[in-house]
Each structure stands twice: as C-alpha cells, then as structure tokens.
Amino acid sequence: MKNKLILVVFFSLLFINCKKEVKKAEFKTDTIAKVPVKVPADSHNSQNSLDWQGTYKGVTPCADCEGIETEITLNTDLTFVIKTKYLGKGDGKIFEEKGVFSWDKTGGIIYLDCLKNRPNQYKVGENQLIQLDMEGHVISGSLAEKYILKK
C-alpha cells in the first residue's frame, strides 16, 4: 500500500512540474489608437521589413483634369511631404503639404494625418505606395495601376 501511495505522489509531482513552453509575443503600441497590440515576435510587415523611407511619384487619375502629378516623401521620423500638380488645369501650380503619418495596427498601411476630404491612406509595398479609396480599400478596375506611386 505504501508503494502505491509513493507512486501516486511521485507521478502527481511529475505532472505538476511539467510546463509547456509558450512562445513570447512582442507588444507594440498602435500608433493610431495608442494602445498595446499583441504582435507575434517573428511577424513581418511593411513597417518593419521594407525600406519604405524615400520619395514616391506617379500620376493619379483626376475627375476634371488630365491627371494629378503626385510626389510623396516619407521620412524616418514619421513626417511626410506631399506635392501635387493638376495637369491640364490652372496655371500648373504645385501644391505642397507637410505633416506626420502613422501606421495602422498591421504595419501595412499609412495614414497621412493632416489630409482631409481626399485620399489619405496608402498601402506600403516594396518600392511602391498604393493609394486607397476614401474607405481604405484598394482601388480595382481598369485604372487600378494609375493609383500606384513608384519609388
């Protein structure tokens, strides 16, 4: 009887002491909401994997002109400069705005914070920015390629 009791105690202690190793997760702060977001330690996204800093250029479609010549410069301190020129309309004036941008919680989309009532979200890809529509969706259709700015 003593032997059985000793075996039960031994196996009980053995199971209590066994632990599963849990993979640690890294906590980052969502730059939009300023709250901790659990991100797996080995996750890769545009923010932490790509060389996103630099100048991107392209001509995006325009409803009442030939196109909008767009140049966006993203800086490592999370500031940006956007220059736009409406082609075939007006005097060819270049409009320049400066501000800060922030990343979404996935690290794949940036928000140009000071731009209002116009597209201000861009999906960051390798050597390109893809302008998103006003609801934050990728623009599809025959003009989709026109919304890509190249580095």
pLDDT single digits (tens) 39-58: 554 578 888 888 999 999 99
The residue assigned the tokens 């100048």 is 55
> Could you tell me which of 118, 116, 122 has the C-alpha nearest to residue 136?
122
Question: Which alpha helices (H) appear in the chain, and where do they start and end?
Answer: 2-17, 46-49
Q: Is the pLDDT of residue 3 over 90?
A: no
> What's the CATH class of domain 46-150?
mainly beta
**Do residues 72 and 80 touch, judged by C-beta distance below 8 A?**
yes
pLDDT of residue 9: 52
E-strand stretches of 30-147: 36-40, 54-60, 67-74, 79-87, 94-103, 109-112, 121-125, 128-131
Q: Is the pLDDT of residue 73 over 90?
A: yes
pLDDT single digits (tens) 78-97: 999 999 999 988 788 999 99
Parse the chain into domains and list their residue ranges.
Answer: 46-150
pLDDT of residue 14: 45
**In a 3-state reduction of DSSP, which class is residue 4?**
helix
pLDDT of residue 19: 45
Q: Is the pLDDT of residue 62 over 80?
A: yes
pLDDT of residue 151: 95
Q: In the predicted model, what is the mean pLDDT of residues 107-112? A: 94
For the record, the structure tokens of 68 come out as: 């909008």
pLDDT of residue 127: 96
Q: Are strands 148-150 and 128-131 parallel, antiparallel or unpaired?
A: antiparallel
* Of 12-21, 43-52, 80-89, 99-108, the least confident: 12-21
Question: Who has greater pLDDT, 26 or 145?
Answer: 145
Whole-model pTM over 0.75 = no
**Do residues 136 and 120 touch, judged by C-beta distance below 8 A?**
no
